[in-house]
Amino acid sequence: MNKLFVLGLTGPTGSGKGEVARVLREKGFFIVDADQLVRQVQRPGQPCLQELVREFSPAILCPDGSLNRKELARIAFADPEKTKRLNAIVHPAVTALTRQMLEQAARDGYSWAVIDAPLLFESRIDTLCDTTAAVLASPQRRLSRIQTRDGITREQAEIRMNAQPAEEYYRNRADIVLRNDGTIQDLCEQAASLAEKLMRWSFEDTTNPSGG
């Protein structure tokens, strides 16, 4: 089984993290999308969804038994303690599935992988990574991108932004920081350069018996 070099990729909403993940995918990196995994573990019949119902009541379900995400968000994010309970249920399930996907990627012959996770540090998924990177952008640029991307009002976009940590949180934890205050081309060039560095680092690690 291949030794897999894993990058943890994070950043606040509207930062451009998805664009960096896209470039890395094109460079041959296996991508684990944590947002997709959250949806997967919350499907009907999954233990995670059953536990959420026990914790927050059947009111979070749609008539067909699927999760009503807006209702769950309304309940869980209204109180920090409820948010903690939500994360305590969802994060372990997502982490376990992430670990399984990385193991499969290694068996399939991949050499590099990316865990694209907005809550990389909060969920402790960063412990599965060899290094971490955060994509950051100015609040003004993020606000504009979120409104355009999601078709929401300025007020709605600001609520989403205010629910996330400040830039310092990411800068103090990530090993690498990419700034996205210029053009998309600028960001893509940074992502391509990052891919080259990671490939070189992983090659040096596997060819150096001491790992240094």
What helix, strand, coil percent values describe the chain, rounded to 5?
Answer: 60, 15, 30
Q: Please report the pLDDT score of residue 85 as a whole number.
A: 94
The sign of the torsion formed by the CA atoms of 40, 46, 50, 55 equals negative
pLDDT at 176 over 50: yes
d(CA 23, CA 141): 20
Q: Please report the pLDDT score of residue 78 as a whole number.
A: 77
Q: Please report the pLDDT score of residue 77 as a whole number.
A: 78
Of residues 3, 1, 4, 21, the one with CA closest to residue 133: 21
- 27 vs 207, more confident: 27
Pairing of strands 5-10, 112-116: parallel
Domains of the chain (ranges; CATH) run: 5-204 (3.40.50.300)
Residues in the chain: 212
pLDDT at 210 over 50: no
Reduced to 3 states (helix: H, G, I; strand: E, B; else coil), residue 135 is strand
Assigned token pair, 103: 């193991």
Range of lowest pLDDT (75-84, 104-113, 134-143, 179-188): 75-84
The per-residue pLDDT for range 116-160, each reduced to its tens digit, is 999 999 999 999 999 999 999 999 999 998 899 888 889 888 887
pLDDT confidence tier of residue 212, bands split at 50, 70 and 90? very low
Q: How far is CA 192 from each of CA 29, 86, 149, 178, rounded to the nearest angstrom?
A: 11, 36, 23, 11
pLDDT at 211 over 60: no
Q: Please report the pLDDT score of residue 1 as a whole number.
A: 55
**Residue carrying structure tokens 């067909």:** 64
pLDDT at 59 over 80: yes
Q: Please report the pLDDT score of residue 2 as a whole number.
A: 67
